[in-house]
Amino acid sequence: MALTAAQMTAQPSEQTAEGRRELPAWYPTWARQLAELYFSGTTCLFILHGNVHDLIRVPAAGQVRYSNLSEFLATQLFGAWELVLHHDLGRGLRPLAVDDPKRLKEMVQSLAAYLGEPGSWPRDPDALLLLLDRFIERTLLEDDPARRKRVALIFEYAQYLVPAGEVGTLARGEASRLVRFLGWAQNPYIKRVNMAFCLVAEKLSEVNSRLVQNPHVAAIEIPLPEREDREQFAHWYLAGAAAARPNGAPAVSNPQDGAASDAARQPAHGPTDQKPAGEPLSPRQLAEATSGLSLVNLHVLLAHRRGGADDELARFRQLKKALIERQCQGLVEFVEPPYKLDMVVGHAASQQRLREDAHWISLGHLDAAPMGYLICGPVGTGKTFLAECYAGDIGIPCLKLRNFRSKYVGETEGNLEQVLTVLRSLGPVVVIVDEADAALGNRRAEGDSGTSSRVFSMIASQMGDTRYRGRIIWMLLTSRPDLLPIDLKRQGRAEVHIPLFYPHEQAEFAAMFAAMARKNKVTLAPDAVPEIPLDRQYSGADIESIVLAAKRQALSLGVREITRELLAQALAEFIPSSQGLEKELQEIAAVLECTQHAFLPPVWREKVAQPNGRSVLQERFSTLRQLLGE
């Protein structure tokens, strides 16, 4: 922040009011938060986490440029300070003065008196931190405030300096570094002078919790860019930054961090490379189509843009899918559902409810949308298919949560934190969690050092955050909803519980056989589906297997159409799974979880409506659990 010398040498209590007025209006929210905490005089050590490798907009002297985090800290937040030092384990310690040789020379000359020439500085982090500690002591002992240097220390990839871990598992050097950072954060004399420490780590969970949770330390999240930020970047890029260079690359400064410079080195194929096939997407349309992406990834998309709007949208979908999956480090699968609810067979009341919710969300009435759904039922009833069809009906992105758990301490929480950060910026988005009872954990820590309980806490907190109603739509899929913690199933989280069942009527059987025939490109005769006893339970997977068996028989006979006789023969030969008790258990669990009578088929509705109907079902459920040894 371009502050006067009087401001920066004053006591923090004297800086507060005037310093806040001096903050530029364009500063990002996180930068203003850091400045306010610093001016309050309570914090001198900050942990910056989240979207730390992205580009940051810097309007200066009537022009706009984009820099990375290290450069922004060195030239903006601490731009008037005499000493800004940057450290990472790969390159060691060095003064940071981007595009300012004079300032860099002054830094080297000032440091030589305290630390020696830069070439003599130790690379070992423990030895280096000891040297810095002595330098800080000498700075604090300076009698004349006018001669005291204002010092900012930026530590990139802080997770490798003070990694997460229990006290007993920390190596001696790691423990020593942790204690030294804690000592700096808690030192009251450091807080009285102009000295700040910024630790940068992508995942907060990878930094030692004793440092993160210390009351003298401030953890500040750098979020993914909002729609306005993406639109500004698209305007800047398309208005001439690409054309300003012969190769079309944007004029991104090349600071010492790799994120911005890597973006600048990407090959660009802008609108000047070839004649567009039609009107290209406007910056506003680009911003709308790229929710959830960082500016670095948006630059990749812009560098590959060509053709008209239709071509661009198709390319953007593919590139955005790949970039989001990479941004989430493969922890999610980006799905573009090709189906809608019209493809679902049966479950008329459930379809109607989902179709109504999709309609209100598509019109922007997000307050009318539930926070989430619990879709349950026996295996093979099409839970995943229904969830994808719902996302297809709304026409919004759909993500499947993959296995984010890891055997390494803190990595599971870090993976989930990364995913939730992207989800918050993507909305509206449908998040499908398959086998939710196993994936989301619970309150109990059972031999995993509390990982499951922490995962549960993070998920429950996000699901219950009403700021994201209609923006993040959770769909928890499970055949055993009774194993899912009640905290996730309550109103305000997974509010609507939809049970799915096997076909119970002849019309449903006929529709299911027709759907599976279309899926497998099989021709059925008009009367091919025989009468099926209603006491038989066939899942969608069972019916598909029967159709394929009839198809093989038809091929062996040299006919192209499956007749009633062939399908009846395949039905007679098919032996369903013998897991009858498990299926009954799963059906009853789905009935007991249902939140709307209309979702139940007539046979189950009648059982529930009987006197003490739910009590009878609960008793049967308990009996089945005992029989199955649960």
**What pLDDT is recorded for position 184?**
95
Burial (CB count <10 Å: 0-12, 13-18, 19+), residue 90 = exposed
**Whole-model pTM over 0.95:** no
The token pair at 8 is 């920066």
Range of the domain at 237: 227-327
From residue 455, give the alpha-carbon distance in Å to each of 149, 405, 439: 44, 9, 9
CATH number at residue 385: 3.40.50.300
DSSP state of 150: P
pLDDT the model gives residue 245: 45
Specify the pLDDT at position 592. Answer: 94
pLDDT of residue 173: 80
Distance CA 176, CA 189 (A): 21
Q: Are residues 322 and 422 in the same domain?
A: no
Same domain, 269 and 205: no
The maximal CA–CA distance of the chain, rounded, in angstroms, is 101
Residue pLDDT, tens place only, 12-24: 443 443 344 478 8
How many angstroms separate the CA atoms of 162 and 209, rounded? 9
Task: Verify that 411 and 453 share a domain, yes or no.
Answer: yes
Residue that is written with structure tokens 């990749």 in the block? 300
24-53: b or e for each residue (b if 16 or more CB lie within 10 Å)?
A: eeebbebbeebbebbbbbebbbbbbbbbbb
**Residues 410, 272: one domain?**
no
- CB contact set of 455 (below 8 Å; sequence gap of 6+): 405, 412, 413, 416, 440, 441
Q: Which residues, given as ranges, of the chain have pLDDT below 50?
A: 1-21, 241-243, 245-277
SS3 for 27?
A: coil
From 449, 476, 499, give the residue that closes a domain: 499
The domain boundary residue, chosen from 297, 327, 357: 327
Domain boundary (443, 465, 499) is at 499
pLDDT given for residue 333 in this prediction: 82
pLDDT value of position 410: 64
Rounded distance between C-alpha atoms, residue 264 and residue 68, angstroms: 11
Residue for token pair 């953890």: 219
Measure the CA–CA gap between 307 and 241, rounded to whole angstroms. Answer: 19
Which residue from 600, 603, 373 is spatially nearest to 495, judged by alpha carbons?
A: 373
Check whether residue 549 and residue 601 sit in a common domain.
yes
Spatial separation of the C-alpha atoms in residues 248 and 239, rounded to whole Å? 12
DSSP string, 108-146: HHHHHHHH--GGGS--SHHHHHHHHHHHHHHHHT-S-GG
> Do 292 and 406 share a domain, yes or no?
no
* Residue 231 shares a structural domain with residue 349: no
Q: Which candidate, 485, 4, 29, places its Cα nearest to that of 222?
A: 29
Burial zone of 572 (CB within 10 Å; 0-12 exposed, 13-18 middle, 19+ buried) = exposed
Query: Do 490 and 511 share a domain, yes or no?
Result: no
| 417 and 484 assigned to the same domain | yes
Pair (398, 481) in one structural domain = yes
- According to DSSP, residue 279 is labeled P
Q: Six-digit token pair at 458? A: 């993070």
Sign of CA dihedral 155, 159, 163, 164: positive
